[in-house]
Chains A and B, each alone.
Chain A
Amino acid sequence: MRLEISEPEIAQLLEIIYQRYHYDFRQYAAASLKRRLQQALTHFRCATLQQLQDLLTSDESVFPRLLEYLTVQVSDLFRDPEFFLTLRQQVMPLLATYPSLKLWIAGCSTGEEAYSFAIALAEEGLLDRTRIYATDINDGSLRKAQKGVYPLDRMRQFTMNHRAAGGHGSLSDYYHASHDSAVMSPTLKQHITFADHSLATDSIFSEVQLVSCRNVLIYFDRLLQDRALGLFHDALCRRGFLCLGTKESVRFSAYAQRFQELSPEQKIYRRVD
């Protein structure tokens, strides 16, 4: 049986995390957060959230580990291959008309999405003119993303994804195997800047032609979703592209009228003013 925790207890913990560590989870969707906190309780051998709170305020090493429970996502290279196929067919021809490109991968976690974009851009002949900003709030994830090292046994699935996503080269052109690991190619890394950024508390940092933020907004409440969509709208150039997760939408947000659907199926939008 799971350990019982109440929403007021969670709210108190999140307030302490915000005051002490300046990470703002106060507008995250509660049900997922609660499940993750219950897993953290087991890991830290705490019977109550109060115990975890005491641990958090007395031991500096606890927060980075707790952050893993609150934020980390495992992703794949070319997750949702149909999305990347649509991106190649409908978006990249339009991106090719820009002399230089900036892309923002928001909530990049351990980097799989950023490398997927870099590979697709390389195959379409666009990577040389592109800078990818890949951001996340978890420094540990960003360090892993920067290293770009993935278990070799995941490459079989990634290779199938890559092919289904319309990849015309071989995925192995973009990594080298080292022991049980696949290390992403330095030519990809040259074009990616991994950086700390919070959709809850930070503002925009550059004008970009495309934002991809897939399966991040589902973890936010409505107000925080609106904040994030506002940042994306402001960061995008006129007619810039916004990519959301397959089950995410701008439809019920304050920005419903500010984006136009390009691919309703793959949740690709364009900024309208």
Chain B
Amino acid sequence: MDVPGAVVIGGSAGALDVLRAIVRALPPVIPCPVVVVIHLPSHSSGLAELLGAETSLKVKQAEDKEPLVAGVIYIAPPSYHLLIESSGTFALSVDPPVHYSRPAIDVLFETARDVYGRNLIGVLLSGASEDGAAGLQEIHAAGGTTIVQTPLSAEVAIMPAAALALFQPTYLWSPNELASSLSQLLSGSAI
């Protein structure tokens, strides 16, 4: 893979601590944007602040029509689906929930795959629903890099297990490996 076009990360129950560890380990300069969908109660909008405390990289809630910029970590706003347009900008929608979730990981993953194809890294973490599995499979089918948290290490294994039932991801990592190796992948060094 050349320089990745984007990293997309999805998770649900039990994903927050892993995500914080991943963000904490990221190098101060990364060559692409990182986009995150985590299922949270609709009123909680503090995820950007929470992650921002872990890194010197800019962390913000994604806005409609905003261009994706390398080095920035974007969070889906509560109660909206987050999509990526072929122009490299975000779009929001209030279309019905997917797997009972809005934002849905599948919606982000599928639209990201349409834009970045094989130059995409998709990461699926701990979670209590099957959201994200089909989207990650699409990233896999397009030749992108797919990373799944090991079900044994996940607080709730349903989400990673759903992905593994569909395909064999590029990497199957524990939280420690997720933090260190994703960081290496983004620094351009060999794993």
Return chain B residues, CB-CB under 8 Å to A222.
65
Is residue B54 contacting chain A, with contact meaning CB distance below 8 A?
Answer: no
Residue of B nearest to A1 (CB): B138
Residue of B nearest to A32 (CB): B93
Contact B107 A35 (CB under 8 A): yes
Instruction: State the CA gap A35–B80 with chains docked (Å).
Output: 15
Return chain A residues, CB-CB under 8 Å to B96.
74
Contact A247 B141 (CB under 8 A): no
Contact B138 A32 (CB under 8 A): no
Contact B114 A34 (CB under 8 A): yes
Interface locus among B81-89, B144-152, B178-186: B81-89
Contact B63 A247 (CB under 8 A): yes
Residue of B nearest to A2 (CB): B110
Q: Between A and B, how many residue pairs show CB distances below 8 Å?
A: 55
Q: Using a CB-CB cutoff of 8 Å, which residues 22-62 of chain A contact chain B? A: 29-32, 34-36
Contact A1 B83 (CB under 8 A): no
Number of contact residues on A: which range applies? Answer: 20 to 34
User: Which of B63, B85, B141 lies in contact with A31, CB distance below 8 A?
Assistant: B85
Interface residues of B: mostly helix, strand, loop or mixed?
mixed
A29-B85, A31-B83, A32-B95 are known contacts. Are A252 and B65 too (CB-CB below 8 A)?
Answer: yes
Bits for B105-116, please: 1 = Cβ < 8 Å to A, else 0: 001001100100
User: Which of A30, A215, A225 lies in contact with B85, CB distance below 8 A?
Assistant: A30
Return chain A residues, CB-CB under 8 Å to B111.
31, 35
Residue of B nearest to A6 (CB): B114
Return chain B residues, CB-CB under 8 Å to A245.
94
Instruction: State the CA gap A245–B140 with chains docked (Å).
Output: 35
Instruction: State the CA gap A74–B93 with chains docked (Å).
Output: 12
Is residue B91 contacting chain A, with contact meaning CB distance below 8 A?
Answer: yes
Contact B134 A1 (CB under 8 A): yes
The interface of chain A, by Cβ under 8 A from chain B, is 1-2, 7, 29-32, 34-36, 73-74, 215, 217-219, 222, 225, 245, 247-249, 252
A-B contact pairs, 30 of them (CB 8 A): A1-B134, A1-B137, A1-B138, A1-B141, A2-B110, A2-B138, A7-B86, A29-B83, A29-B85, A29-B91, A30-B85, A31-B83, A31-B85, A31-B86, A31-B111, A32-B83, A32-B91, A34-B114, A35-B83, A35-B95, A217-B64, A218-B80, A218-B94, A225-B65, A245-B94, A247-B64, A247-B77, A247-B80, A248-B64, A249-B64
Q: Which 4 A-B pairs have the closest CB atoms?
A: A31-B83, A32-B93, A218-B92, A29-B91
The interface of chain B, by Cβ under 8 A from chain A, is 63-65, 77, 80-81, 83-86, 91-96, 107, 110-111, 114, 134, 137-138, 141
Taking A31-B84, A74-B96, A249-B63 as given, write out 18 further A-B residue pairs in contact, using a Cβ cutoff of 8 Å, ordered by the A residue number. A1-B138, A2-B110, A29-B93, A31-B85, A31-B86, A31-B91, A32-B81, A32-B93, A35-B110, A218-B80, A218-B91, A218-B93, A222-B65, A247-B77, A247-B92, A248-B64, A249-B64, A252-B65
